[in-house]
Amino acid sequence: MTPLIPPRDGEGDHAQHGGGGRPHTRRWRLSPSTASRSSSPSRGGLRGIWLPGLAALLLAALLSVWAGEAMRRPLFDLWQRAAPRDLSGTKVHVVLIDAEGLAAVGPWPWPRYHMARLTEEIAARRPKAIGFDMLFPEPDRVRPDIFAALYPELTPAAAAEVHALPPMDRLWGQVIGRAPVVLGRAGVSADGGDPAMLFVDAEIKGVLPPAIPAEPGVIANIPELEQAALGHGLLNGRPDSDGTVRRVPTLMKIGARPMPSLSLELARIGLDEAAITSTPARVGVGKQAIPVDGEGRMLLHFGHFPPAAISSAADVLRQGFPADAFAGQIVLVGLAAEGTADIVATPLAAEYYGPLVQAQAVDAILRGGWLERPRWAAPAEWAAGLLLALLVLLLAPGRRRQPLLVPAGLALAMPVAAWFGFTGLSWLIDPLRPLLLGGATAAGVAGGMFVEARRERERLRETLVRERIVAAATEGELQAARTIQLGMLPPRDDLARIDPRVDIDALLEPAKSIGGDLYDVIRLDADRIAFLVGDVTGKGVPAALFMALSKALAKSVVLRGVPSLADAAFILNEELTRDNSESMNVTMLVGVMDLSTGELMLMSAGHEDPLHVRTDGSIAVHKLDGGPPFCIVDFPYPDEPMKLAPGETLVLISDGVSEALNASDALFGHERLMAALKGRTTATAMIESIRDAVRIFENGTDPTDDLTVMAVRYLG
């Protein structure tokens, strides 16, 4: 059904099925003697209070385990937005090949001549290191030999002179060899090079994190560049499961060899260190010991990268760029032009340039800008939650309420302490887990106390008498609704004789708690009939009366000779909505059939899609665009044409078929419905086969909803 439809019969009101819903009981005041009793419950009363509290605690614990990190992320992201890291003192500068650069130089990838010039201009300003957040696995596209091959009309002398020119890859490699350049690599699972042939510039000592990712192959730069670089770093990195980048890799295995990430390698060179140390929980460079997870990823405390530390490559290539712009800094070169941008989501921004994330990672390693979730955090959170739950269990059932200020104060102090741990120590401590455990326990205890209080106040005789009165009234309503509903439906014998060109049959079997299903077949003229199936929300007499109104109005509107079903639907929706004080609504599927051609026009107001049974026995759901149920909103319901060939059948059902339940609360479903129609050739056989299949499936279970089926078989 259309997702916008609110719950109808069988959708969200199962508690009412089978008995007309729970009776509305009157509230009674406590007698003075009862009110004056001690509020300290007995042993049995304590059991009735503690058991719901413990059950709620268990459910909350299972929810916390199942949700895991996904529950913490929104809070930790909010903290980062509230207190971003200060990057004003960064020693990292980003040079972006942006739209301005592409306009000045040309489309990406640039010829190696311009890359060599850019490298020379950056190196001339005395940076500590230059990192390229990109790969160069292919030779220059404007090599002399390629250029000469593009112009066969060159004279042999000119072609020889072009061939004699040195390739710019070699010249750029010479520029890289004279500068502190770190190039990127990428680990891949297939179609990569042999990692054993690569240089590993940094010595990596110690025990690696236990779940460090590994790839068998690698994409590296062309040899002219790869062998000339001072260092190499991996560009691999994946976001969290929700698509947001919160962690940056530090180490990764390529084949059997550990290699540093680009950010870690740039930081190592920036700190003048020769080696990287590793333990299962930390990666060290010099005096910096970076906490990492099992995959060797660093949790990054994001900030807003200062605009003064970002330059366009076009500006760097122009004359007049400051001579000391990069002195002593780490320069990261990356792409940020439309169509080439490396864009990711971070806790601070839905769209952020990837090179700026790398730059923040380098700065974090250099200056200590990471976040840490200590190993003791999870045990401490569980302990705090269990302490809150224990205090609630012990203190809530007592007479005095002042002791409850203790768990309440702890609950307030936990998020405050976690916030100060974040801002002062860069710790990520989750206050939601203990609050969830304590709060769920409090809710369970409160529910248990409420139940126990009601149990003490109610008197058994009054309850029995009240229930009998309500049951008798409910039974009378159900019988009246059943009588109204069945008396308005056209007899099945009349349907069978409506026209020799069509075979129509329909049935409606009410549930014990009457609903408001309806159907009708109306002759419009010598060659046209209209048919409809509907379902009113709710139960009891109000639903039956609204069903009667809906059926009468639908028949009246159809017989008015309205030009189209769309117009009829508009009028019917308007009429039903008027004076609908109970705010009820009705789903309806209406069709008009031309018996001389088999052509149909259908309109659905939030109803189940019909089934199309073809002459070869195949069955398919005939999808309708439709709209919401009547009495919800004004809506332009569309006319939707269809045609039945002789021998084909259209089957209409209410959700009392598809959503029938058995004793295990399993749904009857689409597959059983299809199976019930297989091999049935007449309208009567089809509807009775569906009815029998539903009842067999229910296996004696009280029906949850009215069951309505109509079959329209065109004979031609």
**Residue 18: inside a domain, yes or no?**
no
Residues 172, 258, single domain; the answer is yes
Do residue 118 and residue 187 come from a single domain?
A: yes
Is the confidence at residue 49, as pLDDT, over 60? Answer: yes
Provide the domain limits for residue 429: 49-75+374-453
List the one residue out of 603, 699, 691, 608 whose CA is nearest residue 652.
Answer: 608
Cα–Cα dist 421/413, whole Å: 12
Two tokens at 68?
């895991």
Does 512 map to a domain? Answer: yes
- Co-location of 298 and 229 in the same domain: yes
Quote the pLDDT of residue 27: 36
Cβ density class 186-207: b for 16+ within 10 Å, e for less: bbeeeebeebeebeebbebeee
Do both 438 and 580 map to the same domain? Answer: no
Given 390, 419, 453, the domain boundary residue is 453
Split into its structural domains, the chain has a count of 3
In a shared domain, residues 362 and 505: no
Single-letter code of the amino acid located at 221: N
Report the pLDDT value the prediction gives residue 230, as an integer from 0 to 100.
92
Q: How confident is the model at residue 341 (pLDDT cuts 50, 70, 90)?
A: low
Measured at the CA of 30, the angle between CA 24 and CA 33, to 5 degrees, comes to 155
Q: How confident is residue 583, by pLDDT bands cut at 50, 70 and 90? A: confident
Whether residues 349 and 381 share a domain: the answer is no
Task: Encode pLDDT of 669-697 as tens digits.
Answer: 889 999 999 989 999 999 999 999 999 99
Quick check: 22 pLDDT over 50? no
Confidence class for position 514, pLDDT limits 50, 70, 90: low
**Alpha-carbon dihedral of residues 8, 9, 13, 14, nearest 10 degrees?**
-140
Say which residue, 41 or 613, is predicted with more confidence: 613
What was the pLDDT predicted at 513?
A: 58
Evaluate whether residue 117 is within a structural domain. Answer: yes
Indicate the residue among 418, 453, 488 that finishes a domain. Answer: 453
Average the pLDDT over each of 38-42, 99-103, 427-431, 497-501 and give the range with the smallest value.
Answer: 38-42
What does the H/E/C string look like for 577-595? HCCCCCCCCEEEEEEEEEC
CATH number at residue 676: 3.60.40.10
pLDDT tens digits for range 615-668: 999 999 999 999 999 998 999 999 999 999 999 999 999 988 988 899 888 999
At 36, is the pLDDT very low, low, confident or very high (cuts 50, 70, 90)? Answer: very low
Beta strands, E only, 265-340: 275-278, 282-285, 288-291, 297-300, 310-312, 330-335
The two three-digit tokens of residue 674, written as one number: 């299809």
Q: pLDDT, tens digit, for every residue of 373-417?
A: 999 999 999 999 999 988 888 887 776 777 778 888 888 999 999
209, part of any domain: yes
Whether 426 and 556 map to the same domain: the answer is no
pLDDT at position 315 over 80: yes
Same domain, 258 and 401: no
Instruction: Indicate the range of 240-244, 544-548, 698-702 predicted with least confidence.
Output: 544-548
pLDDT for 340: 63
| Within a domain: 334 | yes
* End residue of a domain, out of 368, 402, 436: 368
In a domain? residue 709: yes
